[in-house]
Amino acid sequence: MKPAARMLLWTGAALALFFWASPALAHQERGQAAGLLAGLKHPVSGLDHVLAMIAVGLWGAQLGAPAIWVLPVAFPMVMAFGAALGVLGIAIPGIEVGIAVSAIVLGVMVLTEARPPLGVAALIVAFFAIFHGHAHGTELPAGASGVLYSVGFVVATGCLHGVGIGIGTIHGWPKGRIALRLGGAAVALAGVFFLLRALA
Amino acid sequence: MTRRAALRAAAVLAALAAAGSVPAEAHLVQSGLGPFYDGVAHFAVSADDLLAALAVALLGGLHGPRAGRWALFSLAGAWLAGGLAGLPRETVASWPLATALSLIVVGGLVAWNPRLPAPAVGALALAVGALHGYLNGSLSAGGAFGFRGLLGTAVSAFVVVALAAALAVSLKREWTRIAVRVAGSWIAAIGLLMAAWSLR
């Protein structure tokens, strides 16, 4: 491993451990009740979110540069925007349906190895990011305020993308490409299940 | 044990110590080592201060050594000056929206990565340092923070920016610079969530 990569890894690990520390009670931000762990757990608490986030990473890996880095840079900010709408109580209709459709669309994109222009791919991902973010924003536990919760929430989402990108590296092998497409099919099928459940 | 291995072991121990820390029950962090170290500890557990300093450092580092130096000295100097301006306050200032905006703006710039002149990076660092320093200084009203405590926070900010900016400057491979931009997008996303919470 190169020195710069090793340094990044160590810095990341140290920061992760650092933020694991218990929040300071009665600190200047009042209501900082929920800490990093609650924020980390929230994005991984629903399979629909998890599959869609991983599918974003898988698709990015299939598309290659520059999509592989544009999507992870753009997604957290758009999703946080959606979460902010949810926190503020601004309603968006059909959230659960939108989340289910996101799994179907992203799964189909991976299944078919679709290669739309970068702007279109980013728009698709950003559009669905708002649904996912909004759901997280409205489902946040009451009184859970604080920067550490936000840190956990954003980092967990980014890590799910990272998992998707990591898995997506199998795209470099012929059998890996087939496995990746099968994975896309599985995500799309799960999306159909989520959609039926949302409509029931 | 080689010097490198010793350093690595020390870093792991420091990270584990941070992870195992207990919540601070007081209004301000009481390190038991005097006001200066109370300030250092306060900075270390205030994730919003830490993230703001980190964002400024990454922005400076991405723009090269000259911008990094502007960021380093502007932020630390403004932190101290802002803190001195906040010390005479009779009540603790809490501007969560302004704090969130500082993360959105600087984190967003790191993610977007436009070419900024070094003095512009310095001006941003100045604004962020003055804001966070002022808020730190005003804590004196609630917990006898004092000048030495303030100095502790400013010195901590200096050290964090120096280390993080130096790391960012040293990164030459494309993916490592993208990792820095992803970190910026995470910081901006955290700022967005904090802004929503402050408006709720």
Whether residue B9 is predicted with pLDDT greater than 60 in this model: the reply is no
β partners of residue A32: A144
For A120-179, the pLDDT digits (tens) are 988 999 899 999 888 888 876 665 556 777 788 888 888 888 888 889 888 888 888 999
Of A25-29, A112-116, A189-193, B147-151, least confident by mean pLDDT is A25-29
For B24-38, the pLDDT digits (tens) are 433 456 666 777 888
For A120-135, the pLDDT digits (tens) are 988 999 899 999 888 8
- pLDDT for A73 equals 79
**Which residues does A180 contact at the CB level (< 8 Å), separation at least 6?**
A58, A61, A62, A110, A167, A168, A170, A171
Whether chain B has a CB inside 8 Å of the CB on A40: the answer is no
Q: CA A169: distance to chain centroid?
A: 18
CA-nearest of A1, A62, A64, A21 to A151 is A21
- pLDDT for B31 equals 63
Phi, psi angles (nearest 5°) of residue A32: -80, 60
Predicted TM-score (pTM) of this structure: 0.77
Tokens of B95: 């501007």
Contact residues, A window 76-135, toward B, CB-based 8 Å cutoff: 76-77, 79-81, 83-85, 87-89
For A177-200, the pLDDT digits (tens) are 999 999 999 999 999 999 998 887
The mean predicted confidence, pLDDT, of chain A is 81
Q: How many helices (H) and strands (E) does chain A have?
A: 8, 0
Kindly provide the ipTM of the predicted complex, given to two decimals.
0.73
Identify the burial level of A88 via C-beta atoms within 10 angstroms of its C-beta, where 0-12 means exposed, 13-18 middle and 19 or more buried. Answer: middle
User: Are A42 and A159 contacting, i.e. CB atoms less than 8 angstroms apart?
Assistant: no
Give the gap in angstroms from C-alpha B79 to the nearest C-alpha of chain A: 17
Facing residue for B189 by CB, picked from A4, A14, A76: A76
Dihedral of the alpha carbons of B139, B159, B75, B91, in degrees to the nearest 10: 0
Taking CB atoms and an 8 Å cutoff, what residues of chain B touch A26?
25-27
User: Are B45 and B153 contacting, i.e. CB atoms less than 8 angstroms apart?
Assistant: no
Q: What angle do CA B166, B61, B38 make, to 5 degrees?
A: 60
The residue ranking higher by pLDDT, A31 or B114, is B114
For A51-107, the pLDDT digits (tens) are 988 898 889 888 887 878 787 778 888 888 898 888 888 888 888 899 999 999 999
- Distance CA(B125)–CA(B162), nearest Å, equals 13
Task: Determine whether the interchain pair A27/B196 forms a contact, defined as Cβ–Cβ distance below 8 Å.
Answer: no
